[in-house]
Amino acid sequence: MYVGILYSLVIAVFVVAVPQFALADASLSIVPNKGTYKPGELFSVIVELASGGTSINAVTADIRFDKNLFEVTNISYSRSIFSLWTQEPKYSNANGLISFSGGTPSPGFSGSNGTILRLTFKTRAAGEGDIRFETASIFANDGKGTNVASALNGGTFRVAGNATAAPTVLSTPAEVKQSDSTERFVEVPVISDWPVELNEGDFLTVRGLALPLSKVRVFVQREFDPIIEGQTFAKADGRFNFQFGEQVRPGFYRVWAKNVVIDSGLESTQSDVVLVEVIRPTYLRLGAQAISYITIIFALIGLIILLLLLFFFSWVRVRKYRERQGVEISEAERTVHNIFDTLKEGLSAYLTYLSASNSRKSIKNKGAKTKKELEQELDKMEGDIKKEIKDIGRKED
């Protein structure tokens, strides 16, 4: 009899206790659980469920984040394992809190990488802060709603560098939640980092934020050239990096992207278009027409210098002759010195003036203006020299 009673107790303990032990390994995690970012940069994390071999019916949680370092810009649940929400995901940047309560009908979820939410943050200031679960419950699909949460794994994230702008603050502390209508579509990626200007021959690289572990189609078009498509893949935190395979040519490049869900093939609409200007390096960017103007100007300057040198040597000979003749030439000498000083100052000013040009039209206008001013200066110099020669001739007579 005692053996029968003992056997019954063992069976009872096995029936009651074993399922409880089996249900003891469910966990929630922030994935990835670390990262280093710059102030003002966007990054994403996944709220992930691991059932521990047990069928899960629902999860409810409050997630706390450092409101001084991070602010939520988006919450997505378009790819969530949950289809029912008793409390739709919502967030408050003023309080540094995210809350949600959702689930799925029987037979529930069982697996190790169940995506519940995708949270997108923007960094606000330098420092190190946590994104962690303040409270959470994981309910088994056992008809009793048993809380089987065994681990809540948060993350620590670092913001390095100096903030370029003061942190933004919500105008009201009201909680904000996502609209249902946006969840019926695949999220649009965001191009968050791109060069505003590149030199000819550089490589174009853009960075952004997309669905974690999704394919990202990137489109590049130079002005009215055909569109060139490339692709890359987003990391676990949603960040992606794409380098255009060709060296860029002068002109304006338009770049945009689309998200593609790998397992279903669903595709988002296109992202906002970003614009990149490609210019020629300073020593080439003015083009053939501008170079011809520069050539003319420098040729003119060279001619002026040659004429002045000829005049100088001629003047030396005249001076020696006049000295032998006892004629006073100090006033003419001062005039020559003044002409040379004016020429040096003018040439320096013209070169500085031209080097500030940054467009084909600008150098053309400046070239024409410079040519006109040089002609006027030469006419004035020629008049001064003729006057001095006449004065010398009158003194000789």
3-state class percentages of the chain: helix first, strand second, coil last, to nearest 5: 35, 35, 30
Q: In this predicted structure, what is the pLDDT of residue 247?
A: 93
Q: In this predicted structure, what is the pLDDT of residue 55?
A: 94
CA distance 43 to 25: 29
Q: In this predicted structure, what is the pLDDT of residue 350?
A: 65
The answer to whether residues 89 and 75 touch, using CB atoms and an 8 Å cutoff, is yes
Averaged over 216-245, what is the pLDDT? 92
Averaged over 69-83, what is the pLDDT? 88
Secondary structure class of 63 (helix, strand, coil) = strand
Instruction: Locate 46 and state its tokens.
Output: 């996944």
CA distance 230 to 235: 17
Q: Which of 96-105, 257-266, 376-385 has the highest mean pLDDT?
A: 96-105
Q: With cut-offs at 50, 70 and 90, classify the pLDDT of residue 56.
A: very high
CA distance 271 to 144: 45
Q: In this predicted structure, what is the pLDDT of residue 317?
A: 78
Residue at 160: amino acid letter: A
Integer-rounded Cα radius of gyration of the chain: 39
Q: In this predicted structure, what is the pLDDT of residue 12?
A: 46
Superfamily of domain 190-279: Immunoglobulins (2.60.40.10)
Q: In this predicted structure, what is the pLDDT of residue 63?
A: 97
CA distance 142 to 65: 32
Q: With cut-offs at 50, 70 and 90, classify the pLDDT of residue 14.
A: very low
Higher pLDDT residue, 359 or 197?
Answer: 197
Q: In this predicted structure, what is the pLDDT of residue 168?
A: 37
Q: With 60 as the cut, is the pLDDT of residue 357 above it? A: no
Q: With 70 as the cut, is the pLDDT of residue 100 above it? A: yes
Q: In this predicted structure, what is the pLDDT of residue 41?
A: 83
Domain 19-184 fold is Immunoglobulin-like (2.60.40)
Q: Each residue of 78-87: pLDDT tens digit? A: 778 999 999 9
Q: In this predicted structure, what is the pLDDT of residue 167?
A: 37
Higher pLDDT residue, 89 or 366?
Answer: 89
Q: Where are the domains of the chain?
A: 19-184, 190-279, 287-396
284-291: Cβ within 8 A, 24+ apart: 284/200, 285/200, 285/250, 285/358, 286/357, 286/359, 286/360, 286/363, 287/360, 289/360, 289/364, 290/357, 290/360, 290/363, 290/364, 290/367
Residues in Cβ contact with 37 at an 8 Å cutoff, skipping those fewer than 6 apart: 43, 123, 157, 158, 159, 160
Domains 19-184 and 190-279 belong to one CATH topology: yes
Q: Each residue of 266-280: pLDDT tens digit? A: 888 888 888 888 888
What average pLDDT does the structure give for the chain? 77
Q: With 80 as the cut, is the pLDDT of residue 297 above it? A: no
Averaged over 146-152, what is the pLDDT? 93
Q: Please, what's the b/e burial string for 384-395 (b: 16 or more CB within 10 A of its CB; e: otherwise)? A: bbeebeeebeee
Helix (H) / strand (E) containing 9: helix 2-22
For residues 30, 35, 38, 44, the Cα torsion angle rounded to the nearest 10 degrees is: -30
The answer to whether residues 141 and 57 touch, using CB atoms and an 8 Å cutoff, is yes
β-bridge partners, 98: 63, 91
Higher pLDDT residue, 13 or 390?
Answer: 390
Averaged over 374-388, what is the pLDDT? 69
| DSSP structural state of residue 357 | -
Residues in Cβ contact with 383 at an 8 Å cutoff, skipping those fewer than 6 apart: none
Q: Each residue of 233-290: pLDDT tens digit? A: 998 888 999 999 999 999 889 899 999 988 778 888 888 888 888 888 755 444 444 4
pTM of the predicted model as reported, rounded to 2 decimal places: 0.50
